[in-house]
Each structure stands twice: as structure tokens, then as C-alpha cells.
Amino acid sequence: MMNSAVPKTLIMFDIDGTLLDAGAIDDRCYIETAKAQFSVDEINSDWRSYPQVTNSGITAALHQQVFSCPASTLFIEQFRSAFTHRIRATLASHPHSCQAIPGAIAFLNHLRQRRDIALAIATGGWDSCAKAKLHHAQLPTDGLPFASASDAQGREAIMAIAHNRALNHYQVPGFQQRIYIGDGIWDVKASTIAGYQFIGIATGGQASAISQAGARHIFPDFNQSDAMLQTITQLSR
């Protein structure tokens, strides 16, 4: 007989821009790594223009543009290693450049105590970079089902892997409702394709952009936790 405490709602989180404010160092470190690895002076940093807005997807697209051939697994791994090195060096020299989004730590801690909710992480960043930033910002994500651009290039594929890992982790056959919390247009699109309800974390122009992409529930951060929890309850029905 199914226990009433079995989680029925899966809440999946993006990391960069959603749980973490580290966009400035992410962009700078990626651009510097790309220039070095591809031996070019400039790259297109309009991430929305790439077919797959993930670390591995963008790197693969750039390799095709620069060298007119697909990237090897070895090249992708060398790029990931160089990028991770730059991220870690920047975190060490500029510790305040990567911080938790306001209210995120308390919000995650609350959700982790809820037995009716399952949690997972699905990020377009590489595993090594994402976990280094999460640890640096002291976000309570250790032990949660996790998938990243180290697992797949496409965001929907990453979400599917995180979903399957959540099923195994929580030992359930399925979830009655699935919610993705993210900040980008690509998050909205992936959620729609994958059949997730969506909650946005964004302000200003970014909030307008994801609203135009179809996001109906948008919060500036996690400090409005009561309102967010109410939205989660509504979406879980």
C-alpha cells in the first residue's frame, strides 16, 4: 500500500540565475576558455542564438563553426577541464562573485523537510563547474538527484535524466505533478516541451522576456517564500 508520505510532486531546479547569482563570472570564464581553446579573438556570446543553450551544447556548436566538424569527446573534456579550472580560480580570488539568490538556502532547506515533495537539479552547466559553485555558495543540494551538461547536450534530455534519477532516489513509480524552476527563455521552452509546470526567478528585462516566452508565475527571488509555496500547491493540484 502506498504511504501517504510518498512525494507526489517533483520540483526540479535550474542553477545559474535561479539558485545562484554567478552569471558574470560564468560568462567571462566561458568566453576566455573558448578564445583559448579555439584560438580565436571573438566568439558569439548571445547564448540564445545556439541550438542547445548548455555548456556542452554551445561548445559543440562553436567547434562546428570554427573547425567545420563535430567536436570529439576528448576536445569537450579538455574544454570542460579548462573551464572548470578558470571557475575555481575565480571563486578563490573573488569569493563574492558567486552567491546564493536571496532566500534560496532557506527555501531549499524548507522543501527538503517536506515529505510530499521530491527535489532534483537539472542544469545546463557542466557537473564539475556547477557543483563547485553550489558548494561555494553553501546551497543545501548535496545528495539531491542531479543531471547536467556532462550527461547530455540538450536541456530536455538533461531534465529527463534528472527525472529518472529522482524516481530512483525517492523509489516511486512516477510523480503526479512536475514543476521546473528556472530563469531563462530556454528553461521555459524546455519545460513546455517536457510537460512541466514552470516557475520563473527573474527581474527586470529577464522577467519580461520569460513572461513573453510563456511564464505565468515569476518571482524576483525566493524571499516571497509563502507566495511561492502557495503557487507550488496550486500547480500540484
Of the two residues 2 and 103, the one the predictor is more confident about is 103
Burial 124-149 (b: 16+ CB within 10 A, else e): bbbbbbbbbbbebbebbbeebbbbbb
pLDDT of residue 73: 96
Contact assessment for residue 124 and residue 55, using Cβ atoms and an 8 Å cutoff: yes
184-207: pLDDT as tens digits? 999 999 999 999 999 999 999 999
Q: Per-residue confidence at 3, pLDDT binned at 50, 70, 90? A: very low
pLDDT of residue 23: 77
Q: Per-residue confidence at 216, pLDDT binned at 50, 70, 90? A: very high
Strands in the chain per DSSP E: 9-13, 20-21, 99-100, 117-122, 146-147, 177-182, 197-201, 218-219
Mean pLDDT in residue range 95-112: 97
Domain limits, the chain = 9-22+98-236, 24-96
Rounded to whole angstroms, the maximal C-alpha distance in the chain is 62
Hey, what CATH topology would domain 9-22+98-236 get?
Rossmann fold (3.40.50)
142-182: pLDDT as tens digits? 999 999 999 999 999 999 999 999 999 999 999 999 999 99
Q: Per-residue confidence at 2, pLDDT binned at 50, 70, 90? A: very low
Name residue 23's amino acid: G
pLDDT of residue 235: 95
Q: Is 203 left (phi over 0), alpha (psi -120 to 50) or beta?
A: beta
What is the number of H-type helices and E-type strands within the chain? 9, 8
Question: Rounded distance, CA 77 to CA 84, Å?
Answer: 10
Q: Which three cell numbers stand for residue 232?
A: 507550488
Question: Rounded distance, CA 111 to CA 118, Å?
Answer: 8
50-93: pLDDT as tens digits? 999 999 999 999 999 999 999 999 999 999 999 999 999 999 99
30-51: pLDDT as tens digits? 999 999 999 999 999 999 999 9
pTM, full prediction: 0.94
Average pLDDT over the chain, rounded to whole? 95
pLDDT of residue 233: 95
Name residue 107's amino acid: F
pLDDT of residue 5: 75
pLDDT of residue 143: 96
